[in-house]
Amino acid sequence: MPGRANIYPELHVRSPREQAWELFRKNTLAMIGLWGLVLLSLMTLLAPWIAPYAPYEQFSQALLMPPSWADDGNIDFFLGTDDLGRDMLSRLVFGARLTFGNAILAVLVALLVGGCIGIVGGMSKGFKASILNHFLDTLLSIPSLLLAIIFVAILGPGLFNTLIAITLALTPQFTRAIYNAVSDEMQKEYITALRLDGGTRWRILRFGVLPNLSDTVVSQTTRGLSSAILDITAVGFLGLGAQPPRPEWGAMLSDAMELVYLAPWTVTLPGLAILLSVLVVNMVGEGLRQAINEVMD
């Protein structure tokens, strides 16, 4: 009958992804970090349309102009200019591509390569797994920044060589984290059940191992992204990465060190950009890790 109530209501069971997103949304700090990460990503993608000027354009009548809120500032140069009359806001926006964008690229390549090696090693036994384990222990005993500097010293200075060096330095970290996670999963009872059920290695990997690596992948990716940002800026600060006049944040910081007392905004602004980018990445990563852990528990 049309007016009868439904005595068997259909209950919607939320997927683990929906549950994790709901928990993530309740975390205020994580949402602030997410909006900051979205803003940083938009700056990276839309830099030519957002920046008011070209990053190399010089205004000889506006050398070392302070930010617009200072008494001597000008709204045309919202964050001021440097010693060559270049707009600081434009250089910071374009610098997001060289620092944050390249950090994402290096982390994605390291995740792909290191993840594949870690999965193969974690699902292997005996001699191959032992060799990989000891080799990774040797590489991880060296800090990633030192590895990057060593690789740049071999390959030569430059932004492209820096990206190769940082990718090579981050790959062992992803390999080790995923190797340990896969090795732990292979010892679980449901993996034994899949084997007894006649599951192939691919089936075990797809249905038994990969769905349980999300926590490891998220935590290691955010940690690797923070490390990549700091390594790119550190190598640039040392003069081994992006070469002037490219507006990479670490190179901008290095170029402006002599102006720290005369024009402090030329040093403060690139430093704040580095600090805030690492902060929002860590806030999002920690929020995702907590949400995934609560769902899995």
Q: What is the mean pLDDT of the chain?
A: 85
Cα dihedral 156, 45, 22, 33 sign: positive
Backbone angles phi, psi at 190, to 5 degrees: -70, -25
| Count of Cβ atoms closer than 10 Å to residue 150 Cβ | 14
Q: Which CATH class is domain 20-45+95-296?
A: mainly alpha
- Which of 29-43, 101-115, 185-199 has the weakest average pLDDT? 185-199
Q: What is the pLDDT of residue 129?
A: 65
Q: What is the pLDDT of residue 17?
A: 77
Helices 28-45 and 88-96 cross at an angle (nearest 10°) of 100
C-alpha distances in Å from residue 26, one per residue of 2, 90, 141, 146, 295:
40, 35, 38, 39, 14
Q: Read off the DSSP letter of residue 1.
A: -
User: What is the residue-wise DSSP string for 73-137?
Assistant: -BTTBTT-B-TT-BBHHHHHHHHHIIIIIHHHHHHHHHHHHHHHHHHHHHT--THHHHHHHHHHH
Beta strands in 115-228 (DSSP E): none
Residues 259-276, mean pLDDT to the nearest whole number: 92
- Which of 55-69, 169-183, 185-199 has the weakest average pLDDT? 185-199
pLDDT bin (cut points 50, 70, 90) of residue 100 is very high
291, 23 contact by CB (below 8 A): yes
Higher pLDDT, 134 or 255: 255
